[in-house]
Amino acid sequence: MSFLSPKCPVSEKARDWVETSVDWLRAEFGDAALFGEVLLPSSVLALWSGNELTDAERVLELICARMHAPRVSIDLQITEDQADPGLGGTVPLASRWSGEAGHYRRDGDRFVVAVSRGELRSPVSLTATLAHEVGHVRLLGESRIAPDQYDQEQLTDLITVVFGLGVFTANAAFDYHQDSTGWRTQRLGYLGEQLLGYALAYVAHSRGEHAPAWAAHLDTNPRAYMKQGLRYLRARGH
């Protein structure tokens, strides 16, 4: 019966954008992008040495290899953190949006990707941020999209999913943790957990994976949205 049919976790407009964009990225970068290895947190933790700059360089090397990006043409920069406005020791809960935890620019025939120093403390956030900036290299740096394209930041998040780094992008989308100032929330990226969950579902479905083992490495919310998306896609018979 129709009222028992699985529901898509995102709106019709968002669903169409995800599917159209993933299909475009697959056509643009080939099946090697879509069907390559899905990288997991263990891949990054295996590189972790405790030296922040060394770790960032190693993670960037791993990302460039997976995203087929020209590592020899990319310079890594570390920027200082910006203080959170209004944050003090008595604040029990603070929220920070970090859509721009990294930065990309072109400098002649070279690409510069920058990441804030605070991201170096978290393997997941660091990987998600660097993957996003390398996505800029592949999309903007290679003139595949225009700098003023309305959805270029969202598309740059999405390219990380197509290139097998979606676990990091989804898990970094929302973080809730305690530090010396109290409980804090942090949002990273441009898509959010719900849309990323459906993007992961559509990528998995396109790969012919109905219950991928790598989904177990997702945080609770994006994993739930991904499972809902997979149920919807199976029922739709796409």
Average pLDDT over residues 150-163: 95
Say how far apart CA 135 and CA 103 lie, in whole Å. Answer: 11
Instruction: Kindly report, residue by residue over 170-193, the tens digit of the pLDDT.
Output: 999 865 434 444 434 345 678 989
- Give the C-alpha separation, 233 to 79, whole Å: 42
Domain boundaries, the chain: 8-81+89-236
Query: Which has the closest alpha carbon to 112: 122, 102, 121?
Result: 102
pLDDT attached to residue 80: 82
Q: Which residue has the higher pLDDT, 167 or 119?
A: 167
In this model, does residue 73 exceed pLDDT 80? yes
Tell me the pLDDT tens digit for each residue of 196-215. Answer: 999 999 999 999 999 999 99
Q: What is the rounded average pLDDT for all residues in the chain?
A: 86
- Residues above pLDDT 90, as percent of the chain: 72
- The amino acid at 120: L
Q: What is the pLDDT of residue 75?
A: 96
Lowest-pLDDT range of 9-18, 20-29, 99-108, 136-145: 99-108
Helix (H, G, I), strand (E, B) or coil at 112: strand
DSSP state of 91: -
For residues 113 and 199, what is the distance between their CA atoms, to the nearest angstrom? 25
| Tokens standing for residue 113 | 């990707």
* Helix spans in the chain (H): 12-29, 31-35, 41-45, 52-66, 123-136, 152-162, 166-172, 192-206, 220-236
Residue 14's pLDDT is 95
For residues 18-26, give the mean pLDDT.
98
pLDDT of residue 177: 38
Contact 201, 22 (CB under 8 A): no
Residue 140: predicted pLDDT:
95
